[in-house]
Amino acid sequence: MLPKLQEQTERGAQPILRRLVGEQDRTAFGAFAWGTRITLRAEVPRAFGAAAVVLRLAPDGGETTDTPFAFGSTDFVTDIYTLTLDTAMLCGRDGGLFYYEVLFLRGSDTRFTDSTDNLHFTLSPHSAVKFRLLIHAPDFHTPDWLKSGTMYHIFVDRFKRDENAPPVKAEATLNTDWENGIPEFAAKNGDPLPNRTFFGGTLDGITEELDRLQAMGYDILYLSPVFDARSNHRYDTGDYETVDPALGGDAAFDRLISAAHARGMHVMLDGVFNHTGDDSRYFNRYGTYPSVGAYQSTESPYAAWYSFRHFPDDYECWWGIPILPRLKQTEAVCRHYFTGADGIAAKWLARGADGWRLDVADELPDEFLDELRAVAKKQTNGRAAILGEVWENAADKIAYGKRRRYLRGGQLDSVMNYPFRNAVLDLLLRRDAGAFVRTLTEIYASYPREVSDSLMNLLGTHDTARILTVLGDPEEGSGRSNAELSRARLSADARRRAISLLKLASVLQYTVYGFPSVYYGDEAGLEGYHDPFCRRPYQWGHEDEGLMAHYRLLGRFRTAHKALHGGEFRFLYATDTAFLYERVLGDDRIMVAANVGDSPASVPVSGAWLDLLSRTPVRDSLLLPPLTAALLQ
C-alpha cells in the first residue's frame, strides 16, 4: 500500500506498506484464498522517526488485537519491518472478513493509516478508515468464459419479433408500431401500471440474429425473464417451469440454446426468486391457474411460501407492490423448489442454460445463495455462472442490517458492476478522473481476483436511463412529466456530443478488468429516459452506423488480446483530468489513456505504440485532445 502521491511535502518521509505472498508483490490486492500466508512489509524512512510498527486487526464485528511487526533490517535510511498473517489461523475454510490498520509509534505521537481505496493511504493522528481483508474459500474459481466474454443484455419483448410469433395472451395488447411505439407508462412514477402492452419480441427473433450478434463480438446473451408471466417485463413470474408461450415456449428456448451453443455462445437467464407474480400458479390471486394458490386457501401447498399479515389481502410483497408477493425463502420446501437437485435452477441448467443472474440478490437469504450455487456447480461440473444484482461494493455489503458474504466463494461468482457505471458518469459528466481512478482501484483492491476478472461492467440496464440519453442530458429529464419524456429525444448537438462521450465510455468498458455488458440497442444509438422509456424496441434499419462500427472494433480488439481476459490491471499515470492504465497477460500488453479535461493532455508512455482509435503511431509521449481516449497496442 502506498502513501497518497499528492502529499508532496512529506512524501519522502512517509512509510510504504506492501502485501507479499512468497516472493510475489500482491500489494494491489486485498482478498486472498484461505491458507495463504500474507507478509505485510513496512518500509519506514529513518527520518519518519518511528520506534515501532503495530498491526491492529479485527474480524468483522469482533474485538481488535494488536500485533507488533518484527524489525527486519535497515540500510540506515529505511527500516524494514515485517509481519506474517496465516489466513488459515484467522478463520475457517469458508472465509471471513477482517478490518485492519497499521500504527506507527513515534514516542508520544502515533500515526494511523487512513485508507482511501484499500490500497493507498494517508496518515492520521487518530484511528480512521481501515483496510479490509477478505478471505475466500481456497477452491473458489469462476468460469473462464465469463472472463473472456462480451455480454449482450436483451429485454426479450423489445429485441425482435419473428415472422411466426405467437399471439399475446388474452387481455393483453400488442403494439404493432415497432419503430415508433411508446412503452406503456404511468402518469407519474410509482402509480400502478398493468404492463400488459407487448411489442411481441420472441426467442426465435433472437435466434435469427445470432450471426449478427456474434459479428459484433457478443458471445454471452443475458436474457430478461423468459418464464410464463402476466406482464411484458416478466419479473412477476407465473410459472418457473414453463417458458412463456408468447416468447415461443419451451421449444423456442431449446432452439435458441442449440443455435447459441453451436456458435460457441453462452446464454444466461434472469432468476427472479425473491418474489412471484400475484397471477401465478403459486399465489393464484385471480384463479388463472388450475392449482390452489396461497391466496385462495390456507390449505394450499404454497401457503407457507408467503407471509400473510391478514389472510388473504394483506401480505408481504416486494417494495410494497401488491402484484409481487414476496417468497419466504427461509421456508425449506419453498427454497428447495429452486435450489434442490431437481429444482428450478438445476432444471434449466440441465436444459442448456449457462448460468443465472439473480435479481435483487440483497433480498435473498444466505442459505438460498449457498444452496443455489452448490447445485448449479454440481449440475454443470463448475461451468455455470452465478451473478448477483448488487448495486454497491459487494466485498462488505450490508443489506437489511446484515453483512453479506457474497464473495467468499460459496455464493456468487460475481456481481453487476454498478460502481463502474457511477465512476464513468463521474468521469464524463463531472470531469472527475480522480473518482474514476479511486473507484476502479478500490474494487480491484477489495474483491477476490476471480471476481474482479468476472465483473459485469455495465453502462446501462433495463433499470436505468439509456446511457446515450444520460450523456446527452445529465439532468435525465428532471422536471418533465412522463408524457413529455415518452416522446423526448436529444437535440442534434446533444446527440453528437453524447455519441462522442459514449465512444470514450465504451473504450473503458471493454478494457478494464471484468467483461463488458452492453444493453441491447446502446451500440446502435438507442435513446430513452428512465423505465419504461429505456425499454423501447430495437430500431432495426435505423442504427447509427458510426457507433456500430466503433463497437465492432472494440469487439475485435477484445477478442484479439488475451490481456483483456483476466490479465493484470494497473494505473500507470493519473491527474485530475487524465489517466493511463495497462492490461498485461504473459507477453500481451495493451494500454488505455483518457483525457476529460478542456485542453490537450500529454500522457507519458514508454516505447512505440499504435493508437487504434486515431490510427496514429505513438512513441514515448501521447498528446490526447480533450474528451478523447486512446487504445494502444
Active site residues: 359, 389
CA distance 335 to 273: 9
Q: 3-class SS at 306?
A: strand
Residue 507: phi, psi to the nearest 5? -60, -45
Cell of 460: 446501462
CA distance 218 to 520: 11
Residues linked to residue 37 through DSSP beta bridges, in sequence order: 86
186 CB neighbour count, 10 Å cutoff: 13
* Among 224, 278, 266, residue whose Cα is nearest residue 353: 266
CA distance 614 to 633: 12
239 touches 228 (CB < 8 A): yes
* Among 527, 447, 432, residue whose Cα is nearest residue 487: 527
Residue 299 Cα distances to 24, 306, 308, 489, angstroms = 62, 13, 13, 53
563 CB neighbour count, 10 Å cutoff: 22
* Among 432, 431, 436, 509, residue whose Cα is nearest residue 467: 509
CA distance 136 to 32: 6
CA distance 433 to 575: 7
CA torsion angle for 16, 563, 461, 363 (degrees, to 10)? -60
Q: 3-class SS at 356?
A: strand
**Enclosing H/E stretch for 211:** helix 210-215
**Enclosing H/E stretch for 620:** strand 616-624
DSSP code string of 521-546: TGGGT----STTGGGPPP-TT---HH
468 touches 502 (CB < 8 A): yes
CA distance 325 to 226: 19
Residue ranges of the alpha helices (H) in 70-183? 87-90, 144-147
CA distance 122 to 15: 10
